Structures are given as C-alpha cells and as structure tokens.
Amino acid sequence: MSIKPFLKLFKNDQLSTLTCTSALFKNFYKLSYLAAAKNSGLFDLLSHGPVSGQELAGTYCRDPKGREALEAWLQLGVRLGFLELSQRGYNLRGLAKKLALPQNDAALALVQEVADLHYKLISRTPEKLRNGEFWGLKDQDGEVIARSSRVLEAFQTGAIDRTFPVSGRVSLLEIGCGSGFYIKYAASRNPLLSALGLELQPHVAEVARRNIREWALQDRARIEIGDIRGKTAGELFDIVTLYNNIYYFPVEDRVTLLRQVGKFIKTGGFLLMTTCCQGGNLGIEVLNLWGAATATGGRLPAVDELVHQLQDAGYRNVQTTRLIPGDTFYAFKAYFAAAT
C-alpha cells in the first residue's frame, strides 16, 4: 500500500480535518440506527429473543431486492454493535438491548427525539428563518416528547417529594400533563389527592387518559383538552403545576400567563414550576433553540428573570431550587398574592 496519498493529504493540511470529521460519523450512525430500530418496530420484534432473517424479511420486504436491502441494513446494525447474528437469527445486544427494557423507555424516546426533532431543528432552522417561518407543535411527536421528558423523572419527583403533602385532601391542577405520569406519582404518595390534567394536544391527552385508566386512577384524576389561557377560572386547586413547558409560551406573554394560572390557586395553595434555564448542557441549548424558533413559544428563561416575572404576576415568597447539581434544571415554588 502506498503512503503517498496520505502524505499528500498531510502536506495540504487535509488529513487531520478528514480524521476529525470521520470520527463524528460513527456516533451519528449509531443514533440514527437506534431511532430507526425503534421507529420501524425492530425493537419490539427482537425484544423476546432471536428472530431469523427470513422472518424479518416476511415482515419488511415485498420482493427479493427488498430482502437484499434489509440484509444490508441488519448487517449495519451488527457492525454498529446493536445486533448479533447467530444460527437462531438476529438478536439485540449492547446498548440496544438495554434501551429495549421498559425502564429505559425515556432514554430511548430521547434518542428518537434527537434523531428526528433535534436534527431538523439544527439543520433547517436557518432555512426557515430566511423564509420567515417558525416551527410549530405539529412538527414534534407529542407522544415521543411525553416519553422523553421522563429522563428528568428522578429530579422532577424529587421536587414533588419536597413540596407536596403526603396526607390530607389535596387538589392538583397539572397544566400540560403529558403522559400523566406525574399525576400518578403524586397520587401514589397521597391517597387523598385528586387531580385534573390539562393538555393542549388532543392525541397526547388521549395517551394520558389511557394511562389513567390503566393505573386505575379514573376515580381520582381526569384529563381535559385545553389551553389554560382560555380556561375560565372556577374550580380552585391547592397545587397548580407547570412542568417543563414555560418555553411553550412567548417571553413577553409569561407574566400574563402566570397571572392567569394564579386565578386557579386556592388561598394557601401554591404554584410549582420546573424548567430548564439558560446556560445548561448541550441538550438544554437545543431546547432553548426549540423554544426560540417555535411560532408560539419562546427561549428558556434565566433564573432571576423568571423570579421577577413571577413577582410581577403577583406571586410572593418565590423559592428556587437547583434540581440537577451543576446544571440549570430548576424548581420554582411560589404563592399567589391573592391566595396568601
């Protein structure tokens, strides 16, 4: 083998650039493959053990050319370390096998979110801005987002543990309830807690309703479709929550939003809000991009900025807690002035 091509690349200051660029490809391929394996149903097909190539071809292929392409796709999965091929067929291995476990579904959903939504955000936002366009809720998969948001579950539930009473009758309004998981968690801690989950996206609300039924909580929790900004204040609650969704509202509208939310808080009740804030990790930076580049949303808040917005909206005794050491995921607990 001649080394002349390498010497030429080195002399032209191209070798190090090509080497560094190539090093990025494998992780991109891995992320894309894991998302595709979930989206295509391969994780479900292989979750109970090996499946032969012939059986997989029967699921995915209509002709011999398709079988050739499927074999190449599966071969790539083997090369990436996510599949293994034995006499019994193809099986999940390594990280793919771990992600297929139910307890790791949030991490798997985050892989799907990054490979789809985050990729589009990063690659297409400049083009959209040139055309005077922004992203919208229809551009994201609400069910995937509801699942991926649970990667913060351990920290989110810690905020609930610190603030929610574990006994006595408590009424909860969760604005943007997603899958309903945090309603379930709060209800499991306090057997006398009742809840209303308000969800803007109909298909996500249906997921939450289905979950509430499966968890046998239909006598204690109900799910409504709607926007808190258009909801007439009537029923009051001991606790109102906004989990990881303040960036779905424009910055200039947040004081008005928070004032509207306060109208649903009982005397002595409180608001618990959690959100990523400015200055966090790379994932948080992409979340900041999503908020800023969404037609109906806004960038992530700074901590002091959100405290001032709460105060301007009529809240007092605003308490902030960093939920992830060294990062910018915070909880804000505050009492509405009319309810103190």
Please report whether residue 144 resides in a domain.
Answer: no
Q: How many domains does the chain have?
A: 3
Query: pLDDT-based confidence at 340, cuts 50/70/90?
Result: very low
DSSP string, 23-44: HHHHHHHHHHHHHHHHHTTHHH
pTM of this prediction? 0.87
CA-to-CA distance for 177 and 200, rounded, in angstroms? 9
Is pLDDT of 322 > 90?
Answer: yes
**Does any domain span residue 3?**
no
- Mean local confidence (pLDDT), 45-65: 94
CB atoms within 10 A of CB 289: 17
Q: Six-digit token pair at 300?
A: 């992530």
pLDDT digits (tens, 9 = 90+) for 118-172: 999 999 999 999 999 999 989 999 889 888 988 999 999 999 999 999 999 999 9
Is residue 31, in this structure, part of any structural domain at all? Answer: yes
CATH number of the CATH domain containing 44: 1.10.10.10
Identify the bridge partners of residue 223 per DSSP, sorted by sequence position.
Answer: 197
Structural domain boundaries enclosing 285: 151-339
Residues 126 and 203 reside in one and the same domain? no
Same domain, 180 and 302: yes
Query: Mind listing the pLDDT tens digit for each residue in 57-74?
Result: 999 999 989 999 999 999
Whether 267 has a pLDDT exceeding 80, the answer reads yes
Task: Say yes or no: 246 and 310 in one domain.
Answer: yes
